[in-house]
Amino acid sequence: MQEWIDSLIRGWGHDPATWPWTQFLYLAFMGLFAFIVINFAAISAGIFSWAERRVAARMQSRVGPNRVGPFGFLQWVADAVKLLLKEDLVPAEADSVLFRAAPYFMMVGFACVFVCLPFSHRLIVADMNIGIFYIIAVTALIVVGIIMSGWSSNSKWSLFGAIRSAAQIISYEIPGGMALMIPVLLAGTLSTQGIIRAQGGWPWQWFIFDNPFSFAAFFIYFISALAEGNRTPFDLPEAESELVSGYNTEYSGMRFSYFFLVEWGNMWVMSALATTMFLGGWQLPFLSPAQFDALTGFPAVAAELASLAVFAGKTLFFVFVVMWLRWTLPRIRVDQMMNMCWKYLVPASFAGVIFVAGWMLVVHAVPWLGWAMRFVLTGVATVGVAMFALRTMKNLRDTGDKFDFSSNW
């Protein structure tokens, strides 16, 4: 964005290096973009809450909220207003400063990630050259927020829930981070835009189908992201065992809604990261990045919008998958969860990194092998998707129900 602001200044006839208002303008635009980003995060979180309720309902053979607004679309607005109007309770024994500050730590940790997410070809707040590193680092702030909220609630249940959640998130950062290193290796850069540019628009150009280990890395990353976001099957801190909400037991009203905003917004973040790193981000099929840069005028705008749509589409698909998983799987127990992380995912991700490095050397020597592998994997995945669709249809037919997506909304 800095170049864009600089070009704006030049357009006004000033030199960015010497103009006295440069920094001020930078600051103003930073504030503006932060405002836009946080609004986007919050509104998308609200919309996902509505979408989750409707998707969940449809999967459970019922109808979700459909009275408030068209298709119940304003339900989340009504819920937000209700939460805002609730009594602001702070327990008497709670640590007043930390109790109030904890949600904001989580919001910050969550919102800062949006800075590096590439929404389209040019739409990124700051294309840092340490993009992924920055993202992994900043999401750790969420853990701080959780522990603070659990401890400052002055309730044993909350503390246990918080510690458990913290253990979960910290443990799963390792396989998640290692899995994210694989696209970094393949692309050769930590910058998010750079990683996307190293991929292409066609499926076989995506990193997920590059070699079997990056394929596995995608799943390792996805599972770790689920755990980081406290989503089922890893939602033990929230819904179960203590039978009260764990670290957000004592919270009510708007503070409570911050926690859930972060959870739903995290769905977007983890899906966007998955899209960026493994699925080619905003890349369009027939347009290479160099050609894209060279476009001007109307085609440039059209392509820009198309790339935004592609990115949003892929991300929303993964958001749907996250929701879908929540309503399919049971919860995993805490010791089984730690088991899975340390005995299955961590060794797999380390092995993956080593093998991908080796693979890159092999492909460097024998290029056609790389291409062959890509096509084979794409083929396998396509066949898998088709089989899954057929299985779903068979499910429908076996129980004697009819395909019906249009009635009883």
Partner 1 sequence: MTSPKPLEIPTMDMTSKEVLRRIEVGGDMLLNMGPQHPSTHGVINFLVQTDGEVMKRAIPEVGYLHRSLEKIGERCTYNGYMPYTDRVDYIAAMFANQGWAMAVERLLGTVVPERGEYCRVIACELNRIASHLISVGTMAMDVGAVTPFPYALREREFINDLLEELCGARLTYNYLRIGGVAFDLPTGYEEKVATFLDHFEKILDEFNRLITYNEIFIKRLAHLAPIPAQMAIDYCLVGPNLRASGVKFDVRKDLPYSIYPALQFNVPVGKGEMGTLGDAWDRFWCRVEEMRQSCRILRQCLAQIPKGGEIMAKMPRKIKIAEGTEAYSRIESARGDMQYYAVAGPGENAWRVKIRTGSFTAMGIIDALSRGLMIADLVALIASLDVVAPEIDR
Partner 2 sequence: MAEQLAPPRQAPGAVGAYVKNVRDTAKSFWEGMSVTLSYMFRKPITIQYPDRTDVPVRDTIPARYRGFLEVDMDTCTACQACERACPIAVINIDILKGDGKTTPKLRMERFDIDIGKCMYCGLCVEPCPTGSIQHTREFEGAVENFDNLTLRFVPDVLHPVVPYKPPKGAEAFPRIPLGEITRALLKAWDAPRPAFPSLEETAKAAAHGKPKEGALDPAALGRQLAAKALSVKDDKPKLQKVLEEAMAGTDCGDCGYPDCFGYSDAIAQGKDTATDKCAPGGADSKSMLETILVSLKTGAVPGEPAKPAASAASAPAAEAKAEAPAGPPLSQTLPKDELYKVVLDAMAGTDCGDCEYDDCDGYTKGIVYEGQTDLNRCAPGGEDTRVKLFQIMLGTKPPPK
Is there binding between residue 355 and partner 2 (CB under 8 A)? no
Residues binding partner 1: number (CB under 8 A): 30
Residues 88-107: x where in contact with partner 1 by CB under 8 A, - otherwise, as a string: --------------------
Which is nearer to partner 1, 2 or 339 (by Cβ)?
A: 339
Residue 224 beta carbon to partner 1: minimum distance, rounded to whole angstroms: 16
Distances (CA, A) of 205 to 144, 183, 201, 307, 378: 38, 12, 7, 16, 9
Asked if 163 contacts 147 with a C-beta cutoff of 8 angstroms, the reply is yes
Residue 339 beta carbon to partner 1: minimum distance, rounded to whole angstroms: 9
Residues 214-253: x where in contact with partner 1 by CB under 8 A, - otherwise, as a string: ------------------xx-xx--xxxxx----------
Which residues lie closer than 8 Å to 106 by C-beta, 6 or more apart? 141, 142, 145, 146, 149, 258, 259, 262
Crossing angle of helices 75-84 and 22-59, in 10° steps, is 110
Is there binding between residue 336 and partner 1 (CB under 8 A)? yes
Q: 160 contacts which partner out of partner 1, partner 2, none, CB within 5 to 8 A by kind?
A: partner 1
Asked if 190 contacts 132 with a C-beta cutoff of 8 angstroms, the reply is yes
Which is nearer to partner 1, 312 or 325 (by Cβ)?
A: 325
Is there binding between residue 271 and partner 1 (CB under 8 A)? no
Is there binding between residue 382 and partner 2 (CB under 8 A)? no
Nearest 5°: phi and psi at 178? -65, -40
Is there binding between residue 391 and partner 2 (CB under 8 A)? yes
Q: Which amino acid is at 322?
A: V
Which is nearer to partner 2, 313 or 347 (by Cβ)?
A: 347
CA distance 293 to 63: 46
CA distance 128 to 134: 8
Binding site for partner 2 (CB under 8 A): 55, 57-63, 66, 324-325, 327-329, 335-336, 339, 343-344, 388, 391-393, 395-396, 401-405, 407-408
